[in-house]
Homo-oligomer: A and B are copies of this chain.
Amino acid sequence: MNYRIGQPELLKEINLSRAFDILKSARILSRPVLAHQTGLSRATSAVLMEDLLRAGVAKHVGLGDSTGGRPPALLEFNPDAAYALGARMVDHRWGIVITNLDGRVVQRLDIPILNHTPEAAVAALHEGVKTITATVEQARILPAIGLGTPGLVDMEAGVIKTAVDVNWFEVPIRAMVEEQLGLRTFVANRGKVGALAEYWHGAARNLRDIIYISIGTGIAAGIVHEGKLFMGANSSAGELGHVTILPDGPICRCGNRGCLQQLISEPAIADRARARLREGGDTILWTMVGTYPERVTAEMVFQAAEQGDLLAGEIVVEVARYLGIAIANLVNLFNPELIVLGGPLGQIGQVLLEPLLEEVRRRAMAYPLSVVKIVTSDMGPDAGAIGAAVLVLQRASELIFADK
């Protein structure tokens, strides 16, 4: 290993990374165009392109039209030059994907975690990664993995500080995974990887300031600001679930009152429906739960509301109202270009959107409101794992050109 800090060497790395990004977004490029876009000379552009060609990231695809002189050789971006690994943990399972450089899923795998310990989770991940990587050309896989985990994560240290739903505290997940799998490991919590997935190739593609809200058993926001994850001082920015909506509302595990999570998470919605059922409400939810109100789920409530059920509709409107307050606050504070609703409820919650938008329009300030769009995610169930893979894709050029 060479310990030279090597500032001139850094330049090459920076320029290669820029060339990579430019090629990736342009898709097809000539050497002179690359020179123009990077601001470098033709000679250097040619050198950079040679590295891109050697790595397989660029491929010759013939000649372009002449503009009165020698026609330029055209180079095309090859998104399948390398693959990225991403894994997302949810409900004691790992969803693992291999994506190409565009974030398109090449291979997927879902495996259970045998018990609730971090060790079992890492062992399962190890097994899963071995299985999934056996299905594709090994050499293409970048030697790194991105993880989307529950709880609060210190991304710098790669440590899960607290994950209440699995009862983990101070788990040095990066060290564990790096040791067992021998892969550079990047960790982020679920809200943040969701935001990355949207930013990379979902609804927020090509935008620079977006907020992704994941609504499920918990509620988390991932904030992308100027193209980068907004981390905060210790990686815990975006804890939307514990924002106070009702100062005197129901008490929350976190000690606060009236947290958003206590009002509109899946369990909270189910609880509310359950209470209404026990009061003997007249609703088609009965046809879904039989005579057992305790079987009601948030998903059922949304389905019933979509079918025009009044009682379920009332609950959905109430949810929309609370979520609308939270989103209006986000609009006023962060002034984003786009807010994406994702997670289990975000995707089935179409019936939620109309009353939600109404509430946001009522509460947010006109000027920031004028630039923001609010949409539901159109990414499938792989979104989380893809977002985790994006943690690797963000460093793709670095990893591709690291050793040579």
Contacts and interface: CB of A to CB of B under 8 A. Distances in A.
B365 A236 contact: yes
Contacts of A254: 365-366
Given A247-B245, A329-B243, A363-B244, A5 B234 contact: no
Interface residues of A, number: 59
Contacts of A332: 236, 239-240, 242-243
Contacts of A245: 247
Number of copies: 2
A231 interface: yes
A188 to B, nearest CB: 14
A368 interface: yes
Nearest to A328: B244
A15 B363 CA distance: 46
Nearest to A208: B233
B371 A234 contact: yes
A123 interface: no
A333 interface: yes
Interface stretch (A71-79, A334-342, A347-355): A334-342
Nearest to A326: B244
B362 A256 contact: yes
Interface string A1-38: 00001011011000100000000000000000000000
Contact of A237 (B15, B325, B333): B333
A198 interface: no
Interface string A198-242: 000000000011000000000001000100001111111111101
Interface of A: 5, 7-8, 10-11, 15, 39-41, 44, 152, 161-162, 208-209, 221, 225, 230-240, 242-247, 254-257, 321, 325, 328-330, 332-337, 362-368, 370-372
17 contacts: A208-B233, A230-B334, A232-B334, A233-B335, A233-B371, A234-B370, A236-B365, A238-B333, A242-B364, A243-B333, A244-B325, A244-B363, A255-B363, A256-B328, A256-B364, A329-B329, A333-B334
Given A234-B368, A239-B333, A242-B364, 5 more contacts: A232-B334, A233-B335, A242-B332, A247-B325, A256-B364
